[in-house]
Amino acid sequence: MKNGWQQKQIGDLCEVIAGQSPEGKFYNAEGKGMPFYQGKKDFGEKFIETPTTWTTQTTKIAQEGDILMSVRAPVGPVNFATEEVCIGRGLAAIRSGTELNRDFLFYQLQHLQPEIAGREGAVFASINKSEIEGLPLAFVPLPEQQRIVGTLDEAFAGVATAKANAEKNLQNARALFESHLQSVLTRRGKGWAEKPLASLCSLFVDSAHRTPKYQADGIPALRPRDVVNGKLTLTEAARVSQKEYEIQSRRHRPAPGDIVYSRELSYGWAVILPESPCICLSQGMCLFRPTPSLDSAFLLHVLNGPVGREQALRAAVGAAHPHINLGDIKAYQIPFPSPGEQKLIARKLDAMLAETQHLESIYQQKLAALGALTKSLLHQAFAGQL
C-alpha cells in the first residue's frame, strides 16, 4: 500500500445498522408513515429511487446520506439514502464518521463489491452486520479523501455521458429497424391479405405439458428463456436423455425451418430451427411449420416485430405466470403478400437486421469497455495511484 495509506476496517470508522422488517400488516402504498425499503429492487445508479411502500411501524432507520447495502442476493450493491427511511432485512445502513468522507466510502464499497459478492466463485446468499464491519478499508487523511473523490467524480461524469450516448445509440439502432419493419408491414401493397396464423401452417403443436427431467449432458431442451429477442441460445440450454427426448417428441419431431415460439415467461419470441435440430421442446414452447405459401423468414419478422409483439401482449394472460394460450397464437393475424414479395421483403429485412445487430454489437462493446474503465479507475483510486 502507498506511503501514508492505512488499512482499517469498516467498523473502525462507521456505524453499521442491520435492517429489520416490520410486520407486513403495517405496510401501505398510500404514503402513510415512513418510506420502507426491503432490498435492491429500488436502487438507482447512485441514489435510491422514489419509495413505493411505506410503514406505520418503524424498526431500523437509515438517515439521509447513509449508504444502503444490499445484504441478500445480490450481495454488495450500494446506494445513498436520500431521506430518513425504514430498512428491512435485505438492507444494511452504513453511516460514516467524521473522519471519513461518505463519497470516498461509497466509491470504495463499489470497488469492494466483487469481493463482497463472492470469493472463489461462490456467491454469498447474504452478509451480516459483523461481516460488513470487518470489511477492509483503505484509509487516508480527509483532505486526500476529498481530492480522490473530486478526481473520481470528474472521471465518472465523463464515463456516465459516454455510457448514456452508447445506450441511446443502442436503442436508436433497434428502434430504427423496428420502425422500418412496422412501416413495411402496415403500408400494404396491392394484393395483400390478412390471414390467421393457423391457416398458414401445416403443423401446429404445443410442447408436452410437463417439465422434462434435465441432466448435465445429452439432447438440448429448448425453453422460453432460450429464445429471448428472437435469438436462439442453445449453448446454455438444459439437456435431456434420449429416453426423455422420445417421451417429449411423441407427437412431433422438430425439422429444419420449423418455427418455435415461446408461450411463457419471456413470451412472444420466435426462432427458426437450424439444420439438424435434434432438440427437445420444453414446457412453455410451441412449434409450427409454415406451408409453402408462407416464407419462414418473412413470418419470423412479423412475429418478432411490432405487429407480432403487439398481438402477443394483447393475448397474454395470468399476472403471476404470464403465458399465451395456443388457441390465441393460432388466431394471430398475419399480413400476407404474394410468396415472391414475401421473399423479397424478407431478404431486405434480413440485410437491415444484420447491419442493426452489427451496430448493436459495437455499442455493447463500448458499454463493456466503459464498465472495465470504471473498475480500473476504482482500482487505481484505492491502490493510491490517482
List CB contacts of 27: < 8 A, sequence separation 6 or more.
Answer: 36, 53, 54, 55
Closest CA to 229 of 358, 362, 357, 327: 357
Q: Which pLDDT value is given to residue 124?
A: 54
Instruction: Tell me what the mean pLDDT of segment 350-374 comes to.
Output: 94
Mean residue pLDDT of the chain comes to: 90
Q: Which pLDDT value is given to residue 116?
A: 85
Closest CA to 136 of 380, 371, 383, 385: 383
Q: At what angle do helices 296-304 and 339-382 cross, to 10 degrees?
A: 50
Q: Report the distance separating Cα 104 and Cα 137, nearest Å.
A: 10
Residue 278: CB atoms within 10 A of its CB come to 12
The cell for 254 is 422438430
The position carrying cell 465523463 is 158
Lowest mean pLDDT among 63-67, 112-116, 360-364: 112-116
Q: Which pLDDT value is given to residue 120?
A: 40
| Pairing state between β 34-37 and 85-87 | parallel
Instruction: Tell me what the mean pLDDT of segment 268-295 comes to.
Output: 86
pLDDT for 308-346, tens place per residue? 999 999 999 987 788 999 999 999 999 999 999 999 999
Residue 26 exposed, middle or buried by CB count within 10 Å (0-12, 13-18, 19+): middle
Q: Which pLDDT value is given to residue 119?
A: 44
pLDDT for 36-63, tens place per residue? 999 999 999 999 999 999 999 999 999 9
List CB contacts of 213: < 8 A, sequence separation 6 or more.
Answer: 240, 241, 244
